[in-house]
Amino acid sequence: MTARIPAVAYLALEPEPHLVAWGCRACDAQYFDRRNACARCFGTDFEHRPLATEGVIRAFTRVERGAKEPFTSVVVDLAGGGSVKANLRGVEDPAQITPEMKVRLVTFVAGVDDNGTEAIAFAFESA
């Protein structure tokens, strides 16, 4: 079996791929990075919270840079709360993208090291 590791600390691969946030127990603010204090209420008590794998696009932009292949970056409001920035996969025509478009989390192999370990990244695709 090929070893797989998440490309970012807040991506959990098991039992099914999903994102995990640090949630402030005092005010429910959510962060993807570890915090010593909450930026909203200054609370210091946090817990890990699994986030929904589906949501809707709040905003998007198409990025085109010279010889690199264009891509679409989106801000997704997740069902149940929280938001995340990621790339949108599987939609080539930006005219097909609309705010409130339903999307779901997907994972893909971002790279493989010399030992065959796969780095797994995430994006969203149209639901």
pTM for this entry? 0.89
3-state SS of 72-88 is: EEEEEEECCCCEEEEEE
Query: CA nearest 60: which of 77, 81, 79?
Result: 77
Q: What is the pLDDT of residues 22-32, one digit of tens each?
A: 999 999 999 99
Q: What is the pLDDT of residues 47-104, one digit of tens each?
A: 999 999 999 999 999 998 877 788 999 999 999 889 999 999 999 888 999 889 999 9
R_g over Cα of the chain: 16
Split into its structural domains, the chain has a count of 1
Phi-psi region of 116 (alpha: psi -120 to 50; beta: other; left: phi over 0): left
Q: Which residues form the domain of 76?
A: 4-126
Supply the DSSP symbol for 36.
S
